[in-house]
Amino acid sequence: MDTATIKKDRLRYSKNTLSSNFALLAILFNIFYFVSVYKTDAGNYFYSFTIGVSVIYNLLFMLFTFLSSEGIKKYSLHYSVLLIVIGVLQIARVFYLPAKAHAAVITTAAGNLPVIGDALYTRLIIFLLISAAFAISGGVIGVIKNRILNEYTKNLSIK
Amino acid sequence: MAELKLQNLNKIYDNNVQAVFDFNLDVKDGELIVLVGPSGCGKSTTLRMVAGLEDISSGHLILDGKDITTMPPKDRDMAMVFQNYALYGHMTVYENMAFSLNLRKENKNVIHEKVLAAAEILGLTDQLNKKPSQLSGGQRQRVAMGRAIVRTPKVFLFDEPLSNLDAKLRGSTRREILLLHKRLKATMLYVTHDQTEALTLADRIVCMSMGHVQQIGTPLELYDDPANLFVASFIGLPPMNFFDVKVSGGELICDSFKVSLSNEQKALLSSYEGKEITLGVRPEDTVEGGNIDMTVFSNENLGQTTLVHGHLSKHRITCKFRSWCNYKAGDALKIGFTKMHFFDKETTNAIK
């Protein structure tokens, strides 16, 4: 067997740990995001329907990303696509809670204050984008490896 | 090329219990040596000393001319297969077999080729993606062997690898190990308490008792020409029958029977005239017809052979006849001996 073929053949017996680890890193950076987003001292801004949705989304995100991290180990195309979708949604989230909270102003005795300052806002966006990058990369790698493996096993069965 | 020399190996534990006494053995390249003996005889301790899992109290271990007595196990270039397989339950067969090579950070492609080659040899190619829990005992043991094979070590060490398997599987796995040895032509040290394994696998057998080497020889030498009473009683199934007899006037005299000696035997026992010795007769060296009276008390038909247990007056005896017999308890029978072994009563050594 030549090196390229060995590389393909290895896929039959090894797990897609790279994509799986990327999915876990996506979860990790999402955790950094949500522990940061709720820790501002912004009066009762977060006691709203928006934040309820945000909490539920974070829970669902972690559930499905973890499921994907397991499923993608076996080169599952479905979980790879799911991971890409999750990644895209992470990018979309930038324009929801962090952006809205950054634009909102809360009136206190000291005057009008932003709910989220510029520094925190930047940090939140970075966390979400890194999380999205890991999820999308993991998913794309999963799709590519799935195709290589499928093609290789198809050739094997023809032989 | 892997020649192993065990020179005056001793193992003394911290509590001053000595498990192995002055063990000497030269293992030739490609030889399969079986260490056999009852539980607690020091065979596993010897193997573990060779592997580096036990410190050597005194003596030297030489591998291909290099003294490896104090070398750490990982540097000895030996692979050990354990009785309990020692597989990682959360890993697949492939991952288990590749594990040691991954630890050494070998090239992934090289690992892949080695694992596939070993799986091919062991007939595990279709099982590579399974977890150990999905495999039978025999398959698990083959995975354990595969893990040793991929390392291409100089010496393979087997510590009772078949003890956890049922009788049928033990037989088939034993044949696989033999084929493996012929295919790999590797130097192997194999520990077992099962004499069938020892006799069928070994190029040479080391028979041990109480930490001492009793005899080293080919399976036939140990069976045909045991060095002492222990080897004679341990090798052979059913075990050898023993009788205390007196050498007198060209005959062996016992409470239950008298046996005439050939001229050769007379010469051999000339210095024992008037003295007591131990006579050993293997069950398969007894025949129906002769001048020794035997009373049957049980009859076991095994198909090709029949085991007949009985008494010679005060002594018990087991005979193995090559025919289907239907003796009943109390039947009187005349038997003879076709081959006899003689042992010094004091030293228990064979009289040669």
Residue B95: list chain A partners with CB under 8 A. 13-14
Q: B143 lies in which domain range?
A: 4-234
Calpha distance B94→B89 (Å, rounded): 12
Report which of B219, B216, B218 is spatially closest to residue B227, judged by C-alpha positions: B216
- B128 to chain A, any CB pair closer than 8 A? The answer is yes
Please name the residue of chain B whose CA is at the shortest distance from the CA of residue A7: B109
Residue B128: list chain A partners with CB under 8 A. 12-13
Residue A1: list chain B partners with CB under 8 A. 113
Inter-chain residue contact B112 with A12, CB threshold 8 Å: no
Inter-chain residue contact A6 with B128, CB threshold 8 Å: no
Q: What whole-number percentage of chain B has pLDDT above 90?
A: 78
- B120 to chain A, any CB pair closer than 8 A? The answer is no
State the burial class of residue A7 (Cβ atoms within 10 Å of its Cβ: 0-12, 13-18, 19+).
middle
Q: Are residues B177 and B284 in the same domain?
A: no
Q: Read off the pLDDT band of B80 (50, 70, 90).
A: very high
Calpha distance B214→B230 (Å, rounded): 8
Q: Are residues B286 and B340 in the same domain?
A: yes
Q: Are B92 and B128 in contact (CB under 8 A)?
A: yes
Calpha distance B331→A58 (Å, rounded): 88
Describe the strand order of the beta sheet including B315-321 as a list of residue ranges.
Answer: B315-321, B306-312, B286-301, B332-337
Q: How many CA atoms lie within 13 A of A3 on its CB side?
A: 2
pLDDT tens-digit series, residues B115-172: 999 998 888 999 999 999 999 888 998 899 999 999 889 999 999 988 888 888 888 8
Please give the distance of CA B349 from its chain centroid, rounded to a whole number: 20
**Domain boundary at B202, B234, B266, which?**
B234
Report which of A136, A30, A134, A10 is spatially closest to residue A80, judged by C-alpha positions: A136
Q: Are residues B182 and B286 in the same domain?
A: no
Which carries the bigger pLDDT value, residue A96 or residue A127? A127
Q: How many CA atoms lie within 13 A of A22 on its CB side?
A: 25
Axis crossing angle, helix A17-37 with helix A77-93, rounded to the nearest 10: 20
Structure tokens at B304: 């090709």
pLDDT tens-digit series, residues B83-124: 888 899 999 999 999 999 999 899 999 999 999 999 988 889
Cα of B147 to nearest chain A Cα, Å: 15
Structure tokens at B27: 């293992």
Furthest-apart CA atoms within chain B: distance in Å: 77
Domain annotation covers residue B351: no
Domain annotation covers residue B71: yes
DSSP codes joined into one string, B53-64: SS--SEEEEEET
Q: Are residues B277 and B163 in the same domain?
A: no
Q: What's the rounded mean pLDDT across residues B304-321?
A: 92
Q: Are residues B328 and B282 in the same domain?
A: yes
Q: Read off the pLDDT band of A102 (50, 70, 90).
A: confident
Matching residue, tokens 């131990």: B278
Q: Computed from CA positions of residues B271, B277, B280, B285, in that sequence, does the dihedral angle turn out positive or negative?
A: positive
Matching residue, tokens 């291409």: B152
**Domain boundary at B211, B234, B257, which?**
B234
Interface ipTM: 0.74
Q: Are residues B168 and B121 in the same domain?
A: yes
Number of C-beta neighbours around residue B241 at 10 A: 20
Q: Read off the pLDDT band of B342 (50, 70, 90).
A: very high
Domain annotation covers residue B350: no
Q: What whole-number percentage of chain A has pLDDT above 90?
A: 58
Q: Are residues B220 and B298 in the same domain?
A: no
Domain annotation covers residue B64: yes
Q: Are residues B163 and B199 in the same domain?
A: yes
Q: Distances in Å between the alpha carbon of A40 and those of A28, A37, A64?
A: 20, 7, 27
Q: What's the rounded mean pLDDT across residues A74-86?
A: 95
Domain annotation covers residue B254: yes
Calpha distance B52→B70 (Å, rounded): 8
Q: Are residues B222 and B266 in the same domain?
A: no
> Residues A45, A46, A52, A53: what is their CA dihedral angle, to the nearest 10 degrees?
80
Cβ-based contacts under 8 A for chains A and B: 22
Calpha distance B311→B286 (Å, rounded): 14
Q: Which of A2, A13, A149, A156 to mutate to test the interface with B (most CBs of B within 10 A)?
A: A13
Q: Read off the pLDDT band of A43 (50, 70, 90).
A: low
CATH number of the domain within which B206 lies: 3.40.50.300
Inter-chain residue contact A12 with B129, CB threshold 8 Å: yes
- Beta-bridged to residue B244, according to DSSP, are B278
Calpha distance B210→B231 (Å, rounded): 12
pLDDT tens-digit series, residues B176-189: 889 889 888 899 99
Domain annotation covers residue B62: yes
Fill in the DSSP letter of residue B349.
B
DSSP codes joined into one string, A103-118: H-EEEETTEEEESS-H
Q: Are residues B210 and B294 in the same domain?
A: no
Q: What's the residue count for chain A?
A: 159
Q: What's the residue count for chain B?
A: 352
Q: Which of B93, B106, B112, B113 to mutate to test the interface with A (most CBs of A within 10 A)?
A: B112
| pLDDT surpasses 80 at A46 | no
Q: Are residues B147 and B224 in the same domain?
A: yes
**Domain boundary at B234, B258, B288, which?**
B234
Domain annotation covers residue B46: yes
Number of domains in chain B: 2
Q: Are residues B155 and B107 in the same domain?
A: yes
Inter-chain residue contact A12 with B113, CB threshold 8 Å: no
pLDDT tens-digit series, residues B22-39: 999 999 999 999 999 999
Calpha distance B237→B197 (Å, rounded): 12
Domain annotation covers residue B59: yes
CATH number of the domain within which B286 lies: 2.40.50.140
Report which of B236, B256, B204 is spatially closest to residue B341, judged by C-alpha positions: B236
- B2 to chain A, any CB pair closer than 8 A? The answer is no
Question: According to the model, what pLDDT value does residue A98 have?
Answer: 84
